[in-house]
Amino acid sequence: MNLLKEYELKNLKLKNKVVMPPMCMYSSDSEGYVKDFHKVHYGARALGGVGLIILEATAITPNGRISDNDLGIWSNTQIPGLKSLVDIGHKNETQMGIQLAHAGRKCTAQCEYTVAPSSLSYDETYRLPKELTKDEISLIISQFQDAAKRADEAGFDMIEIHGAHGYLIHEFLSPLSNTRTDAYGGSLENRTRFLREILAAVKKVWPSHKTISLRISATDYLEGGLVTKDLVKIINEVKPFIDIVHVSTGGLLPAKIGLFDGYQVEHAKIIKQECNIPTITVGLINDFELAENILNENKADLVAFGRKLLREPQFILNAIYKNKYEYDFPVQYERAYRYRSSDQVKTL
């Protein structure tokens, strides 16, 4: 079974190709600290057999939070809590990543002001953001760099730069949210500058043997917005700074999206093939058969299960048991996964 085979990328040595993608839990406090909930939540998925867990969007600055209850990585005092999550994952042979994020104009946290490449709000329910000056852009780049240092100190195996879903980096990339006329606006090359400078700064401090992921939205689903061929150009430009691309879609502005199981897979396939880079695919992937087909058809290298893992933390173990594969189940749960002597057990 391809999904359950080991996978290696630089320092990552995954026991399988199952990824838990970043999903906001809104369960921190106003200071962004790890709580008992996070230890239980991520620990359950690690114990359930996930190969790679990527923590929820973790803010590099207080006014870069999506909500008041997001995790933070803007202070050294947040490192011990984050390290405790890494330790839980590692004890269960799960590799741990963290998504470094800035919400931009989609910040709903209590703060003095929000920021964006241009003074355009997401919609009428959001605050009008302040257009970033060049000095403020430089400050945010340094905040991403400092966050990467903290992530390394906390022991994370991978960092993921959040460039998707209408948050700050995505806002710079799309012409629908970036109307600047300076070096950070206009042409696709200029709109990519912010991302490129963030990645370059991060790469200076992130250990060279460790993995860097980039989360992207492959299309805005809107006329005049980004489409997949634009992201191919963007990724080819920043490819020297990253190791894998986590392919999502949408989020820049309200849009109609035709949802179906695996609706984002073809975008991951295009990025993988045209950029010659490993990809993680995600988006309403709910069963082993679909995941197996994705991997067997070489459409992606890793498969992320989001809502599925929220509903069923041990779905990997359950699927292995249902299909009667030989497996070293966690000792704590072994009695629940004992095969009968008459069962025909298969090797993975």
Give the closest residue to 244 by CA, choosing from 269, 203, 279: 279
Percent of the chain having pLDDT more than 90? 94
pLDDT in tens, 209-229: 999 999 999 999 999 999 999
Give mean pLDDT, residues 234-241: 98
Look up tokens 């999550």; give the residue: 85
**How far apart, in whole angstroms, are the C-alpha atoms of residue 11 and residue 65?**
29
How many residues belong to the chain?
Answer: 348
The pLDDT tens digits for 15-24 are: 999 999 999 9
pLDDT at position 341: 81
Q: Any idea where the domains of the chain sit in the sequence?
A: 2-313
Strand, helix or coil for residue 196: helix
- Say yes or no: domain 2-313 is CATH 3.40.1160.10: no
Q: Which among 82, 182, 198, 71 is positioned nearest to 146, based on CA atoms?
A: 198
Indicate if the pLDDT at residue 280 is higher than 80: yes
pTM, to two decimals: 0.96
**Rg of the chain on CA atoms, in Å:** 20
Instruction: Look at residue 131 and give its three-state secondary structure.
Output: strand
Per-residue confidence (pLDDT) for residue 342, from 0 to 100: 83
Q: Give the pLDDT band of residue 1 (cuts 50, 70, 90).
A: confident
Question: What residue type is assigned to position 164 of the chain?
Answer: A
Residue type, 215: R
Residue 319: in which H helix or E strand, if any? helix 315-322
What pLDDT digit, counting tens, does each position of 125-135 carry? Answer: 999 999 999 99
Place of tokens 């806002």: 171
